[in-house]
Amino acid sequence: MQFQFWLQERLLSVSCHLQNVPTISYAQLSGGQKSERLFEEKYSRLIVSILVFLILFSPLAYGSVDPWAYNLIRVGILIMLAAGLMRTANARNFPASSSSFIIPALLFLALLAVQLTPIPLWLRELLSPVPSSHSLILPSIPEYGQKPLESTWTQLSLYPPATWEGALDFLAFLALVWVVLNVIRPNEGQRTVLYSLVGIGGLQAIYGLFEYLTGRQGIFFFPKLHYREDVTGTYINHNHFAGLMELTLPIVIAMLWAGLPTERDSSVLLSKGKKPAKFVKCLFVPLGLLSIMLISLVLSHSRGGLISTGISILVLLSILVQYRRSLNSRWVPLVFTMVLVVLMFLSSELLSRFSYSFRDAPERMGVWRDSIRIVKDFPLWGTGLGSFKYVLLNYRHKVDILMVDGVPRQANWNYAHNDYLQLLVECGLLGLLLAGWAIMLWVRQFLAGLKKTLAPEDRILRCGLGCSVIAMLIHSFVDFNLHIPANAFLFAVCASLATNYGSVGNGTEGETNERNEM
């Protein structure tokens, strides 16, 4: 009982400090206030536990591309949302998300509602006349096909079932963003989520390298059928494994940078004659993890992953040098030298992969040209979210053969290998403009957060999260990582944390805890 009372006192003290209110003794609270406080703590721990579980689970389940794994993510998000709403209702204080991109997100939902709303056939012919003038072959849509249109009511989406599913997924990820922004508490909860992201990235890199170096090349108990010459971790596609690496590598670099000792730290250690055990732990553990993840990324042979990660790291370092000017100059060359040694050791792998790019580029470029043809027919409203793979068959009649592990295989173009182009096809110019607007607002909010008076370590880690998002946005020009459930889930978590990491309050840019610079 004494331990329970002490723990309750500590939790209450931390909560009061985070909310910038005078510290109150737990014994001073009434019975109702005590129960409410414990209620909030219980639901907060439940939400963090579920979020950490999903972060660790989603990549392990083959990227959660199977329906059972994706449905588990949906259920987890729904439970977190319900717990967050119950916690909020108990506190009688509904936190409004400070996410500035909520307006374009709501407008995008309105666009999806327009795509799914039944409209008269004459209005459809006015807004998007192509289905009436062409014979579009689509599955399970009786009013389209080679026979004349018979129904007097239709929809703008060419394949409404896929659009409904896409709309529900978008709602689920909006709920995830709300939970991360408003329920996950600064410092303790956010740090746990951050360590989970780094942990799954390191675990995937170690497992992928083990399978690659031993020649086993399997995923758990099953032998790999594709990309046997690449490091893929537990993903099927090497590009999607690279997507996980590019989301977590900048965070590891930020942790490494935050652990570098300053001139003041070094002088204090030398004057007291102490061994820098703390700095060895903060330096060499992230450095070893960084080396393993870099090696696995290079051996994944993902060109898009290598380029996007390289750009994001350069952006990250250009920002970080402005925040830790008092770094001991002896540590930075050591870190860069070790990283350069790793890259030079793998230089032959890098050159061989980029020389291969000319082999499969024509097929991908061909799909992009056919996608542009679709955009010309559906410029404003698009074909409907999720309908790309059904509509492309009517525009690309060529059978593509791609070399996978030296074996020719017929290509099935379920995605455009360009998330922005696919969004333009499915949601038209309106959808692409809303996405661009949301990205611009996110960048503005991220940069504004960096200018706030934040603890130095939180500022550095926020930079790492922001550059993880930048890497994924760049890679999306040449791949479809945002259509892989695990990577889309982790991307949403990183994008949300990047806008409020270390901030006091739920989703606000309030004052932060004062902590001494490391």
8 A C-beta contact, residue 359 and residue 333: no
pLDDT for 191 beyond 50: yes
Could you tell me the pTM of the whole model? Answer: 0.83
For 212-240, write each residue's pLDDT tens digit: 988 888 888 888 878 888 899 999 999 99
pLDDT confidence of residue 433: 96
pLDDT confidence of residue 69: 94
Using a pLDDT cut of 70, give the percent of the chain over it.
68
For 11-58, write each residue's pLDDT tens digit: 445 445 444 444 444 444 444 455 666 767 788 889 999 999 999 999
Provide the CA 394 distance to its chain's centre, in angstroms. Answer: 32
Question: Higher pLDDT residue, 516 or 361?
Answer: 361
Question: 63: pLDDT confidence band, cut at 50, 70 and 90?
Answer: very high
Question: 456: pLDDT confidence band, cut at 50, 70 and 90?
Answer: confident
Tokens of 279: 């700095």
Tokens of 177: 């963003």
pLDDT for 508 beyond 50: no
Quote the CA–CA distance of 201 and 243 in Å, as a whole number.
10
Tokens of 25: 């003794």
pLDDT for 91 beyond 90: no
pLDDT confidence of residue 363: 76
pLDDT for 393 beyond 90: no
Q: Kindly state the average pLDDT of the residues 140-153.
A: 51
pLDDT confidence of residue 351: 52
Identity of the highest mean pLDDT range in 206-210, 331-335, 500-504 = 206-210
pLDDT confidence of residue 517: 38
Quote the CA–CA distance of 472 and 308 in Å, as a whole number.
7
* Summary mean pLDDT of the chain: 78
pLDDT for 298 beyond 80: yes
pLDDT confidence of residue 5: 44
pLDDT confidence of residue 448: 84
Quote the CA–CA distance of 346 and 365 in Å, as a whole number.
29
pLDDT confidence of residue 110: 95
Quote the CA–CA distance of 17 and 133 in Å, as a whole number.
66
DSSP string, 235-256: -SSHHHHHHHHHHHHHHHHHHH
Q: Is 453 left (phi over 0), alpha (psi -120 to 50) or beta?
A: beta
Q: Kindly state the average pLDDT of the residues 268-272.
A: 47
Strand-pairing partners, residue 120, are: 153
Q: Kindly state the average pLDDT of the residues 448-465.
A: 82
pLDDT confidence of residue 430: 95
pLDDT confidence of residue 321: 77
Q: Kindly state the average pLDDT of the residues 496-503.
A: 84
The answer for residues whose C-beta is within 8 angstroms of residue 495's C-beta and 6 or more apart is 177, 442, 469
Tokens of 163: 């659009």
Using a pLDDT cut of 90, give the percent of the chain over it.
40
Question: Higher pLDDT residue, 127 or 475?
Answer: 475
For 31-43, write each residue's pLDDT tens digit: 445 566 676 778 8
The answer for residues whose C-beta is within 8 angstroms of residue 108's C-beta and 6 or more apart is 170, 427, 431, 434, 435, 438
pLDDT for 89 beyond 50: yes
For 107-144, write each residue's pLDDT tens digit: 999 999 999 999 888 888 888 777 655 656 666 554 44
Q: Kindly state the average pLDDT of the residues 71-78.
A: 96
Least confident of 93-107, 165-179, 307-321: 93-107
Tokens of 162: 């896929």
Domain ranges of the chain: 2-105+163-357+417-500
